[in-house]
Amino acid sequence: MWSADEIASLCYDHFNKLPKRGKPEEGREWTLLAAVLQLTHSPEHKTVHKQIVSLGTGTKCIGKSVMSMNGDILNDSHAEVIARRGCVRYLMEQLYRAVSGQSSAVFQPGTEKGQWMVKPEVSFLFFTSQTPCGDASIFPMNCNEVQPCKFVKETQNKELERRGSKRTADSDLEEHPRIKTRVGHFIFEKSVDGEEQKSTTENKERSQSEDILKRDLHRTGAKCVPDGPTDPLQPGLLYHNTGLLRLKPGRGDSTLSLSCSDKLARWGVLGFQGALLSHYLQKPIYFSAVVVGKCSYSHQAMVRALNTRCAHVTGLPSGFSTHPPKLLQSCLEFTCNHTHTEVQHTHAQGKISPCGAAISWCAVSQQPLDVTANGYKQGVTKNVLGTPKARSLISKVELFHSFLKLVAVTEQTQLPESLCGKELRTYWDYKQAAGPYQQAWTQLQLQAFPLWCRSPRELLLFH
Ligand SMILES: [Zn+2]
Q: What is the pLDDT of residue 234?
A: 85
Tell how far the Cα of 80 is from the centroid of ligand 1, in angstroms: 7
pLDDT of 274 over the 90 cut: yes
> pLDDT tens for residues 448-457?
999 998 888 9
Reported as type and span, the H/E element at residue 300 is helix 299-302
Query: Do residues 324 and 194 touch, judged by C-beta distance below 8 A?
Result: no
Tell how far the Cα of 139 is from the centroid of ligand 1, in angstroms: 16
Q: Average the pLDDT over 83-87 and give the result.
A: 98
Using alpha carbons, select from 130, 138, 139 the residue that is nearest to residue 79: 130
Tell how far the Cα of 421 is from the centroid of ligand 1, in angstroms: 39
Q: What's the one-letter identity of residue 25?
A: E
Q: What is the pLDDT of residue 236?
A: 83
Tell how far the Cα of 424 is from the centroid of ligand 1, in angstroms: 33
CA dist list (Å): 35 to 64, 69, 84, 357:
26, 28, 8, 16
- Give residue 361's pLDDT band: very low, low, confident or very high (50, 70, 90): very high
Tell how far the Cα of 259 is from the centroid of ligand 1, in angstroms: 5
Tell how far the Cα of 220 is from the centroid of ligand 1, in angstroms: 10
Distance CA 436, CA 434 (A): 6
Q: What is the pLDDT of residue 185?
A: 30
> pLDDT tens for residues 137-174?
999 986 543 333 333 333 444 443 443 333 333 333 33
Q: What is the pLDDT of residue 250?
A: 85
Q: What is the DSSP letter of 164?
A: T
Phi, psi of 167 (to 5 degrees): -125, 135
Side-chain-side CA neighbours of residue 164 (13 Å)? 9
Q: What is the pLDDT of residue 209?
A: 65
Using alpha carbons, select from 222, 133, 262, 237 the residue that is nearest to residue 183: 237
> pLDDT tens for residues 322-333?
999 999 999 999
Using alpha carbons, select from 355, 386, 387, 358 the residue that is nearest to residue 371: 358
Pick 232 or 187 by higher pLDDT.
Answer: 232
pLDDT of 458 over the 60 cut: yes
Q: What is the DSSP letter of 316?
A: P
Q: What is the pLDDT of residue 74?
A: 96
Q: Is 86 helix (H, G, I), strand (E, B) or coil?
A: helix
Residues of the chain with pLDDT > 70, as a percent, come to 84
Pick 30 or 147 by higher pLDDT.
Answer: 30
> pLDDT tens for residues 367-419?
999 999 999 999 998 899 889 999 999 999 999 999 999 999 999 999 999 99
Query: Do residues 290 and 303 touch, judged by C-beta distance below 8 A?
Result: no
Phi, psi of 25 (to 5 degrees): -75, 125
> pLDDT tens for residues 60-75?
999 989 999 999 999 9
Q: What is the pLDDT of residue 333?
A: 97
Q: Average the pLDDT over 425-435 and give the result.
A: 97
* Catalytic residue annotation: 80
pLDDT of 336 over the 60 cut: yes
Query: Do residues 229 and 218 touch, judged by C-beta distance below 8 A?
Result: no
Q: Residue ranges of the alpha helices (H) in 237-278?
A: 260-270, 274-278
Tell how far the Cα of 41 is from the centroid of ligand 1, in angstroms: 30
Each residue of 107-140: b (16+ CB within 10 Å) or e?
A: beebeeebbbbbeeebbbbbbbbbbbbbbbbbbb
Tell how far the Cα of 200 is from the centroid of ligand 1, in angstroms: 41
Please provide the average confidence, as pLDDT, over all residues in the chain.
87
Q: Is 359 helix (H, G, I), strand (E, B) or coil?
A: strand
> pLDDT tens for residues 346-360?
888 889 999 999 999
> Which residues touch 50 (CB under 8 Å, ≥6 apart)?
2, 6, 7, 10, 37, 38, 39
Q: What is the pLDDT of residue 165?
A: 34
Tell how far the Cα of 92 is from the centroid of ligand 1, in angstroms: 24
Domain ranges of the chain: 4-134+248-459, 138-246
